[in-house]
Structure 1
Amino acid sequence: MMLVSLSILGFGNVGRGVARVLLEKREWFRRKYGIEFKVVSISDSSATVWDESGIDLREALEVKETFGRLSYWGNEYDLYHLPPEDVAKEVESDVFIDLTPANPEAYKWHMEAFRMGRHVVTSNKPPLVHHYVELIQEAAMRGVNYRFEATVMAGTPIITLLQESLLGDGIESIEGVFNGTSTFILSEMERGLTFDEALKKAQSLGIAEANPDVDIKGFDAAYKATILHDITFEPISFKKVKVRGIDGVSEEDIRKAAEKEKVIRLMAKIERRNVVVEPREVPKNSPLAVYGTSNVALIKSDLLGELILKGAGAGVKETASAVVSDIIKCVRRS
């Protein structure tokens, strides 16, 4: 049995989702992979709980969901107030898991974890968008894994597909819808709501953030498109990515598209040295005309031709699926 120690940074919805999977499927992981996971630290914005012998995940979930903060934990575990970089450096773990909200400073934490010989699994997009080359090179130099499936299409495995499956194919282009919030808003506008009404509904359902700019202005989709460009072709500067969001789409635009049997979606087009994210009309019968919070990618290659990948682009269980899968890939013996 292989004992694998984990350090979890970020205990919001996704962090707790990962903890539930580790807890509920513990015996399954033992039987199928011969792996036993031990979580040695959990951090939220209030504190880090750290115990080298392992943390009771059931109790961690109860504390967080009852009080909202790990700092309310009693005397059973020691509480620390460490910056993320110190967690990556000081907490002895096999895998450092960064599930914090988008933060451009997170690349420093990942670099520190690599220097300490730790694998890194993350759902945090800005480090990859702005520091892809140095992160990939550092991980390779240290002989550790850097896994980030959850950064694009939640648990739908587009990154694994591009990195590990289509190894003989020359990818010509990727076209897709990668932001579920925008799709939800546009879908609701097709039902007759105004943009503001659709946005408020998305916020009330927890699909859109209180400050939705990163979604409706196209930046989230652009981050994901940049990551796909980097792993498929070569690194590209985010400054060269052309981005236009859905905040300029009117009810009249929706109506005119419907008259032509089309819908408007926030589309990303990825070709070598060219990434464009913008609202575009799509035929209603096109596989790219997704609804709700679904994501879709149309991959064109020289050998396979066209491949359509469709699945959940958001959701706690779906994102946890990608994170846990990445953890296993980091440590599983071939």
Structure 2
Amino acid sequence: MTTTIAVGMLGLGTVGSGVVMRLTQAARKIEQTQGLRLRLAAVAVHHLNAPRAVTLPIGTRLTDSIEAVVTDPKIQLVIEVMGTLKTAERAIVTALQHGKSVITANKDLMATAGEQLTALAQRQHCDLFYEASVAGGIPILRTLTDSYATDQVTAVAGIINGTANYILSAMTAGKTYSQALAAAQRAGYAEADPTNDVGGLDTTYKLMILSQFAFGQQLTIDQLAPQGITQLTAEACQQAAQAGWQVKLLAQAQRFGDQLACRVAPVAVPQTTALSQVKGVQNGVAVTSQAIGDSLYTGPGAGSTATANSVLNDVIVAAQQLVRQTCGRAFNQNHADLTVTRLADLSQRYLIFTDSSVLKLQRAANEGDFSLQRHTADCYETSVLTTAQLRQLAVDLASDGRELTALPIAFSTVTTTTAIKTTQPVHVAI
């Protein structure tokens, strides 16, 4: 027997158009395998007469009223793909208050207001799913919920912003930052204003969501203090690659007992790791757990069809729950109360870039009680340094008018809980 579910959608841009296309193409399979007929009843858009990339199914109502969709008593499920904050939040709240389950791809909103929206959904006995909010084409959230249900995740590390990864890959290949950004914008991988992508905020929102699923821990932007890629040079990326590393904007969270150390920053990822080979606009999330060990999940992080596929998978789960009358269970059931610190505050190894003399560096290393290994003309690998040692090295070089670029080496932190201290973050130009 086939059950028809009436669906409303807010937004008909890149992702919304992909949802319509995938829904049309997969309708027969969904009906055959799931016993569901998903009828797109209405779509709300900002401009009714704007050109559309897709043709809506016969019988779908196009409207410029969000309210008309989220309050329609015939619509049982709402897809939000507008990509706004306040407007989307009001729409989702109204939909939930009217007893409708909601699917969203809105990472900014779910990272900052997800807790309140989830609580409202549970009170209303509705579902709120948002798989597409992180690494659009990779089902990482549901994987963490289902496949790691009996396991304990100890670390996640993600390349989860395709724009930044594309730029860093292009810089490693020889382009300047400006050239790489311009190429990303021409290819449609970067927005006209790429601030959130290159500044690390987009990655931060996604790590905030990942942390909830992997560790049960809420994070804030202040706790993560993201660093972007705008101050990196192509020379540093290229020298790092020659020395055996790939520079990546990495989202990291690592658990040490009851403490969680986190970071969003450009780091040097060893080329011996699979994560380092995630290039261009691809995304990758590495998960380390007690039972499974190391796993890597890769795929497109954005794009019309990939993100739409994740949205539709959530729609199917929500529709099945509607049929079974089992709506209202929170998407993420993992909750913990961990002490949050910064990975930047831990002792770890660094790649440093400086044109200072070898003699000056040797003297600084001897006085600071650490060692250096030279890889290229201006690229050195340090032994494990404390933040105080790195700060002093920067001061020593600055006294001679030399600048220091320091990139943490991923996965090199000291892994004893006694090494986690509350210190002032080191300020080194990168």
Shorter-normalised TM range: 0.7 to 0.9
Q: Give the corresponding residue for 1:313.
A: 301
Paired residues of 2:138 and 2:299 also in contact (CA < 8 A): yes
Superposed CA offset, 1:108-136 (max 9, x none)? 22222111111110111122111121111
State how far apart, in whole Å, the 2-side matches of 1:256 and 1:104 are.
44
Residue by residue over 1:1-42, the C-alpha shift from the partner in whole angstroms, topping out at 9 and shown as x without a partner, is 100111111101111111011112222211111111111111
For the 8 Å contact 1:226–1:275, the answer to whether it is kept is no
Task: Give how far 1:100 is off.
Answer: 1.2
Does the residue aligned with 1:46 lie in a helix, a strand or coil?
coil
What's the secondary structure of 2:250's corresponding residue?
Answer: strand
Paired residue secondary structure (1:128):
helix
CA RMSD of aligned residues (A): 2.3
Give the letter aligned to residue 265 of structure 1: K
Match status 1:40 vs 2:41:
yes
1:212 is matched with which residue: 194, 217, 221? 194
Task: Give the residue type in structure 2 aligned to 1:99.
Answer: V
Counterpart amino acid of residue 269 in structure 1: Q
Relative to structure 1, is the Cα distance of residues 78 and 191 closer, same or farther in structure 2, using a 3 angstrom cutoff? closer
Matched, 1:246 2:229: yes
Give the secondary structure class of the aligned counterpart of 1:243.
coil
Structure 1 residue 252 displacement after superposition: 2.3
Contact 2:152 2:290 (C-alpha < 8 Å) held by counterparts: yes
Task: Determine whether 1:236 maps to 2:219.
Answer: yes
C-alpha separation between the residues in 2 aligned to 1:281 and 1:302?
Answer: 25
Deviations 1:154-188 (A, max 9, x none): 12110001112211111111111101111111111
Partner of 1:125: 107
Whether the aligned pair in 2 keeps the contact of 1:181 and 1:215 (CA below 8 Å) is yes
Q: Deviations over 1:260-305 (max 9, x none)?
A: 1211000011245543100001122321111111111111112222
Q: 1:303 aligned to 264, 280, 291, which one?
A: 291
C-alpha distance in 1 between matches for 2:315 and 2:62: 25
Max Rg structure: 2
The answer to whether the Cα contact below 8 Å between 2:78 and 2:100 also exists between their aligned partners in 1 is yes
- For residues 45 and 253 of structure 2, what CA distance do their matches in structure 1 show? 35
Post-superposition Cα deviations, 1:169-209, rounded to whole Å, max 9, x if no partner, equal 11111111101111111111111111100100000010101
| 158-167 vs 100-109, greater mean Cα deviation | 100-109
Q: Distance in 2 between matches of 1:121 and 1:243?
A: 28
Q: Quick one: which of 245, 263, 281 aligns to 2:268?
A: 281
Contact 2:42 2:60 in 1 (8 A): no
Instruction: Among all aligned residue pairs of Structure 1 and Structure 2, give the percentage whose two residues are the same amino acid.
Output: 27
- d(CA) in 2 for partners of 1:7 and 1:66? 16
Shift of the alpha carbon at 1:103?
A: 2.2
Shift of 1:231: 2.4
Cα offset for 1:217? 0.6
- Separation in structure 1 between the aligned mates of residue 35 and residue 62 of structure 2, nearest angstrom: 31
Residue aligning to 2:251: 268
The residue aligned with 1:6 is 7
Aligned partner letter, 2:246: V
Contact 1:162–1:231, Cα closer than 8 Å, also in 2: yes
Name the residue aligned to 2:170: 188
Work out whether residues 43 and 61 of structure 2, in 8 Å CA contact, stay in contact via their aligned partners in 1: no
Q: Distance in 1 between the 2:261 and 2:8 partners?
A: 37
1:111, 1:135 within 8 Å by CA — same for their partners in 2? yes
Whichever residue aligns with residue 38 of structure 2, its letter is F
Aligned equivalents of 1:141, 1:207: Cα separation in 2: 39
| Cα distance change, pair 184–99 in 1 and its aligned pair in 2 (3 A) | same
Cα pair 1:10 1:44 within 8 Å, conserved: yes
* 8 A contact 1:123–1:148 mirrored in 2: yes
Q: Structure 2: state its 5+ residue gaps.
A: 325-430
Distance 2:23 2:61 in 1: 22
Describe the SS at the equivalent of 2:299: strand
Normalising by structure 1, report the TM-score.
Answer: 0.87
Q: Aligned partners of 1:270, 1:102: CA distance in 2, in Å? A: 27
Q: 1:115 to 1:66 in 2, by over 3 A?
A: closer
Distance 1:91 1:203 in 2: 42
Q: Which residue of 2 aligns with 1:293?
A: 281
The aligned residue for residue 338 of structure 2 is none
Question: How many positions carry a matched residue from both structures?
Answer: 313
Do 1:229 and 1:271's aligned partners in 2 also have CA atoms closer than 8 Å?
A: no
Where structure 1 has 5 or more consecutive residues not aligned to the other structure, the ranges are: 49-61, 71-75
Quote the offset at 1:146 in angstroms. Answer: 1.0
Aligned to 2:31: 30
Query: In 1, are the aligned partners of 2:42 and 2:61 still within 8 Å (CA)?
Result: no
Name the stretch that deviates more: 231-240 or 302-311: 231-240
Counterparts of 1:324 and 1:120, CA distance in 2: 12
Q: Give matches, 1:138-157, under 5 Å.
A: 138-157=120-139
Cα distance between partner residues in 1 of 2:226 and 2:75: 39
2:312 aligns with one of 324, 329, 332: 324
C-alpha distance in 2 between matches for 1:121 and 1:150: 9
Shift of 1:97: 0.3
